[in-house]
Structure 1
Amino acid sequence: MSLTKIGLCSRALLKIGAHTISSFDEGTAEAEVSNNLFDGVCDALLSSYPWSFATAQMRLPRLMAQPIADFSYAYQLPGDFLRALSAGTGNVGRGVRYRIQEKRLHTDLDEVVLSYIYRADPSDYPAYFSQCLISHLAAEFCVPLTESASRAEAFQRVAEKELQRARTIDAQQQTPQAIDLDGLINVRY
């Protein structure tokens, strides 16, 4: 069952013993806290790990303006960009030297493929991530709504365990990456 932002916040509110919400604009403390904290908590959690459901690749459009120093070209980052994982060229998604600066990707290559974490829609979250996010939201909502730092710390410990569990499940969604030893072996000679 996919959840909306309101559904995720309502479940987090239930965990801390608060009233659920049906809208961010309903004028309650729960709605105000949910509206103000949801996006930041969600983006931070999405950015914290290369989640399989929130990972994409894209050929970036080159900008006319060039970087002032260090690199030859600047590229526009996607609108839903949260974090870069790697950059490549052609049919390879990694191996290119780059830097993210001024909300642009700078590199010396005239074509770039970016592998990145994007802001996925809550309806696309798998159950393991939704549960992890609900736990993190509960930890964040706890102090402003219950004024109990000890309860917030307890919820934070639960949230960290949920994060470990979610990462483990997500890591099993793909073939493990082999360690590239060529660079290490070549250094010896």
Structure 2
Amino acid sequence: MATATGVSICSNALLMLGSQTINDFDDQLNLDRAKLCANLYPSTRDHMLRLHPWNCAVKRIVLSPDAIPPAFGYSQQFQLPADFLRVLEVGEAGLQIDYLVEGQTIQADATVLELRYIFRNDVESTWDAALVELVTLAMAAALAYPVTQSAAMRDSIRQELEMAKKVARAVDGQEDPPQTLGDERLLAARFGAYR
């Protein structure tokens, strides 16, 4: 199987639409399609990454506070990483802290901030095959009308995309252990199972 790239994902989306592929995002022979792909791909990729905590797009980082605290509300602000797309967890597992995302910062009452987040993974070769397929469908949906001038084709691919999202999320989520709801002993005692 060939290694996935942004160009190969866009080319496969174009093939799904019955169109010619591109060689790169600056392809002079297929300039219109290359420009369409170059314009639509980054936002489509980021949108699809942001929708679900894909295992291939999750990072952990410990942030130090900025030198200048926020004007009010929280005692510290922390600069978000450049590749940040979405917060998954702030604080240690099970010990979430109060926070607020504002612009490119997180506000919190903490001296350091443990952040688990979705990052802009633009190395498609590290993606799960289901995510590659999903982004290919998303690109086909984004390109459908500009390439084919067919609203029916666009709508059909969008329906296929919605079904594929459900399957891909389920498969990706099955790789993770089940989530717990906090102190197991406390829950067991509350519901009579703890001895």
User: What's the TM-score, normalizing by structure 2?
Assistant: 0.88
Output the CA distance in 2 between the equivalents of 1:94 and 1:103: 23
Return the letter of the residue paired with 1:61: S
Matched, 1:32 2:20: no
Contact 1:86 1:114 in 2 (8 A): yes
Q: Structure 1 residues 34, 117: CA separation in 2 closer, same or farther (over 3 Å shift)?
A: same
Output the CA distance in 1 between the equivalents of 2:155 and 2:94: 40
Q: Which of 109, 133, 138 lines up with 1:131 in the alignment?
A: 133
User: How far did residue 154 of structure 1 move?
Assistant: 0.2
Contact 2:94 2:182 in 1 (8 A): no
Output one character per residue of 1:122-149: Cα deviation in whole Å (capped at 9) or x when no partner. 1111101100110111011001111111
Match of 2:45 in 1: 42
Q: Structure 1 residues 94, 80: CA separation in 2 closer, same or farther (over 3 Å shift)?
A: farther
Query: Is there any run of 5+ residues in structure 2 with no aligned partner, and where?
Result: 191-195
**Match of 1:174, SS?**
coil
Q: Structure 1 residues 39, 93: CA separation in 2 closer, same or farther (over 3 Å shift)?
A: farther
Output the CA distance in 2 between the equivalents of 1:94 and 1:144: 48
Which has the higher Rg, Structure 1 or Structure 2? Answer: 2
**Match of 1:133, SS?**
helix
Q: Which moved more, 1:20-29 or 1:123-132?
A: 20-29
Runs ≥4 residues deviating over 6 A:
none
Output the CA distance in 1 between the equivalents of 2:145 and 2:182: 45
Return the letter of the residue paired with 1:76: Q
Cα root mean square deviation, aligned:
1.8
Percent of matched pairs sharing the same residue: 30
**Match of 1:43, SS?**
helix
Return the letter of the residue paired with 1:68: A
**Match of 1:105, SS?**
strand
Output the CA distance in 2 between the equivalents of 1:123 and 1:173: 19
Match of 1:11 in 2: 12
Length, aligned pairs only: 183
Matched, 1:82 2:77: no
Output the CA distance in 1 between the equivalents of 2:138 and 2:98: 34
User: How far did residue 108 of structure 1 move?
Assistant: 0.5
User: How far did residue 93 of structure 1 move?
Assistant: 7.2
User: How far did residue 61 of structure 1 move?
Assistant: 2.5
Contact 1:138 1:155 in 2 (8 A): yes
